[in-house]
Structure 1
Amino acid sequence: MIGVCVLGISGSVGQSSLKVLRSFPESFRLTAFSVHSNLKIAETLIEEFRPEVVCLTSESHLGVWGDKKGGTRIVYGEQGLNEIVSLSSVDTVVTAIVGAAGAIPTITAIKAKKKIAIANKETLVTFGPYINRLVKECGVSMVPVDSEHNALFQLLEKEDRSNIKAITLTASGGSFRDLPIEDLPNVSIKQALNHPTWSMGPKITVDSAGLVNKGLEVIEAHFLFGFSYDEIEVVIHPQSLTHGIIETLDGACLQYTSAPDMIFPVAHALFYPNKTPKLLAEKKPFSWKELTFRDPDPARYPALALAFQAGRTGGSAPAVFNAANEVAVQLFLEEKIPFIQIPRIIEDALNEIPNTFPQDWQGFLEKDNETRLSVNKKYSKGVVV
């Protein structure tokens, strides 16, 4: 019985993790989980799974349940997150908290030598060089849960690295994929949150609409797999059926294709290095009417080029890219800036925040904080359109 801790259980990856746990009760036990503010979900899951410890992370809920809920111990905040990932009864940690907030408990889990099913891309984007060193030092297994990275992970296991010319991440294109570019300055929050394929939280859905999410995944892929930025490509794939492609030296392409359901990568990550032992979904390839691909339009998705720029610059630039975007997305969701201002804010931050090459996680975190303070100071009252 593998003890599982899920960070961010109310989100899409967290909910997919629950599907897997319910499908394989003989293999996994939900030992601990965190939830930000959804007390109703937390209460229901405590009753269903009887976890050992639950962490509530919202400041507004500090102490709300005391230190016990039934037979489950309750902890709070960042300290609570670090506590639940370090439990001796936890074998695997699913890091599904969105944003840089998920990075510190992930680092703690690596130091505690847990297997990491990583769904928090900001951990590698912000702290990439440090995380890679730490994973190697601690000898832990880190398996990506993002559908694209998990697809590439599985493909790369089957092909010798010396025979691979490039890897390709697919993108749905987001909420504004087919919207006339001249309409982008006036899009609403409601439009941005209407993703054509996936049901995700507000931040990641806005990221997807501007392909910022794919830019973050490019940087993450670099740190996960060791490919240079010249060897990483992105294509728009509206059907969201092909999740990753590798191109071999002879020009052939191998692709991983599945229905757009996070249960596939989550199950793979939880069972790894073993195989998922039974059918998860009945969907024959011939039922997928078509697979189409096209290059992303740089005029529609300027943030994608900025992500490649930040990745190639290295050092703290990826951390600046991520922090500036997180603040910009929040400003958009607060209706303080228009959607098209998000990549402009990212570009300003990359140009204005001096680049450094930190040797520890605190150095990367300082750059993250510096960027957030700078962007908030400059744009918190909005912009003149």
Structure 2
Amino acid sequence: MSKHIAILGSTGSIGTQTLEVVESNPDLFVVDVLTANNNVDLLIAQAKKFQPDVVVIANEDKYSYLSDALKDEDIKVYAGIDAICQVVGMSSVNIVVTAMVGYSGLLPTIKAIEAKKNIALANKETLVVAGEIIQKLALENGVSIYPVDSEHSAIFQCLIGEFENPVEKIYLTASGGPFRGKDRKFLESVTSKQALKHPNWDMGAKITIDSASMMNKGFEVIEAKWLFDLKPEQIDVIVHPQSIVHSLVQFKDSSMKAQMGLPDMKLPIQFALTYPKRLETSFERFNFLDYPNLSFEPVDTHVFRNLALAYEAMNKGGNMPCIINAANEIMVEAFLRDQVGFLQMSDIIETCMQKASFIAQPVYEDYVASDAEVRELATSLL
């Protein structure tokens, strides 16, 4: 039986690679839904190639252009975030790949879970902002959440067959990004062009900047807390420049498991779609002789303060991770427009954490309000 897929954010890095996995396995996967935010031309090309039942463009201004381009295709065309939230509940869909960028992925993921669809989660901000709500909903609706992030997929793979064995600690590996080993003096003058040059991974602009600032790793720490039911002190981060060991699990008996492989996001995407089966692939194989030395280093949280701020937000709980996420999204947009310096991003995020309204036990509406409040606050602080 083919698995029917909805891909939210099909024109981004994860979305396009998901479609590569689908194309390589046409007997196993059928694309029912494609959505995009702004990249209407690529969405049109994808729709003509994969012939989904439905396409949705979040930017309603581009609906007419999209509709005209697909008028000769047997494809329904919609626009707006409300439409995305509705199509994830289509009866034919088996699994929803949530690859939308940032906070925008939260509500569609909630709606997909409420529709009892399994989730291939590539939008880490969903669990960062509202991890408690998401996990509660998934449990209530009998929904499985399969991680797509390479680090969380690695932890998940290491835990298979070990679900009854207590985890002592997990280690999320970080490449160190383009500024590994640099000091704060160097970072004072770095540009967005420099920050976008990731040494190992080909990703979208937002996540690449987050990787350079280590906020991405901070978000992964918060995401791991919810995915694997861990305490903050059970999650550690270690720099591994080669990005071969994707993460590790240490058990109560002191033994450790690591998941390894060449950097290729198509592997965790495919595993999330096919679990518990592994498909044969033509992916390049790892050769130990090409990597005679695998090295590991501590993270300098004095230089990369975002990781420390993320731990602080996780320990504080409540809506604090929502606050840090909203402030970070505004800062990344500003940095990409050269409106704020690389180190200033952390300063303003910390100020938002201090000034924004804290709610110890938020409900969904509180997250919406917090997100709006912090975006306005962060923008004013620019």
TM-score by length of 2: 0.95
Query: What amino acid does structure 2 have at the position aligned with 1:17?
Result: T
Contact 2:98 2:105 in 1 (8 A): yes
What is the alpha-carbon distance in structure 2 between the residues aligned to residue 130 and residue 199 of structure 1?
31
Q: Which amino acid aligns with 1:286?
A: F
Correspondence 1:49 to 2:60: no
Residue 28 of structure 1 corresponds to which residue in structure 2? 29
Pairing 1:361–2:367 present: no
Between the aligned partners of 2:278 and 2:78, the Cα distance in structure 1 is: 32
Is 2:347 the counterpart of 1:344?
yes
Distance 1:287 1:80 in 2: 51
User: Following TM superposition, by how much is the alpha carbon of 1:52 offset from its aligned partner in structure 2, in angstroms?
Assistant: 0.3
Q: Give the AA of the match of 1:60.
A: D
Match of 2:162 in 1: 159
- Quote the Cα distance in structure 2 between the aligned partners of 1:316 and 1:135: 20
Deviations 1:250-309 (A, max 9, x none): 33321000110011111111012x312313413134244121111101122111011001
- Amino acid across the alignment from 1:271: T
The answer to whether the 8 A contact 2:262-2:286 is kept is no
- CA displacement, residues 104-131 of structure 1 (integer Å, 9 cap, x when unaligned): 1111100111110000001011011111
**Is the 1:63–1:76 Cα contact (8 Å) retained in structure 2?**
no
2:130 to 124, 127, 133: 127
Q: Which runs of 5+ in 1 are unaligned?
A: 380-385
Task: Report the Cα distance in structure 2 between the residues aligned to 1:367 and 1:131, rounded to whole angstroms.
Answer: 17
The yes-or-no answer on 1:149 pairing with 2:152 is: yes
Whole-angstrom CA distance in 2 between matches of 1:187 and 1:144: 32
Residue 41 of structure 2 is matched in structure 1 by 40
Aligned: 1:277 with 2:279: yes
Do the aligned partners of 1:2 and 1:28 also contact (CA within 8 Å) in 2?
yes
How many correspondences in the alignment? Answer: 378
Aligned to 1:378: 381
Q: Partner residue of 1:256?
A: 259
CA RMSD of aligned residues (A): 1.5
Query: 1:223-242 alignment to 2 at 5 Å?
Result: 223-242=226-245
Q: Structure 1 residue 352: deviation in Å? A: 1.1
Instruction: Quote the Cα distance in structure 1 between the aligned partners of 2:32 and 2:233.
Output: 42
Tell me which of 324, 328, 351 is aligned to 1:325: 328
1:295 to 294, 298, 304: 298
TM-score w.r.t. structure 1 length? 0.95
1:198 to partner: Cα distance: 0.9
C-alpha displacement at 1:367, in angstroms?
A: 1.2
Asked if the contact 1:197–1:240 (Cα under 8 Å) also holds between the matched residues in 2, the reply is yes
Whole-Å Cα distance in 2 between the matches of residues 138 and 308 of structure 1? 30
Asked if structure 2 preserves the Cα contact closer than 8 Å seen for 1:173 and 1:237, the reply is yes
Deviation track 1:215-263 (CA, whole Å, cap 9, x = no partner) reads 0000000011111000000001111111110112233321000110011
2:221 counterpart letter in structure 1:
V
Residue in 1 that maps onto 2:247: 244
- % identity of equivalent residues: 39
Distance 1:357 1:39 in 2: 40
- Which stretch has the larger CA shift, 145-154 or 169-178? 169-178
Q: Contact conserved, 1:263 with 1:280, CA < 8 A, in 2?
A: no
Kindly indicate whether the alpha-carbon contact (under 8 Å) linking 2:89 and 2:112 is maintained by their aligned counterparts in 1.
yes
Q: 1:97 to 1:140 in 2, by over 3 A?
A: same
Partner of 2:66: 65
Question: Residue 201 in 1 paired to residue 207 in 2?
Answer: no
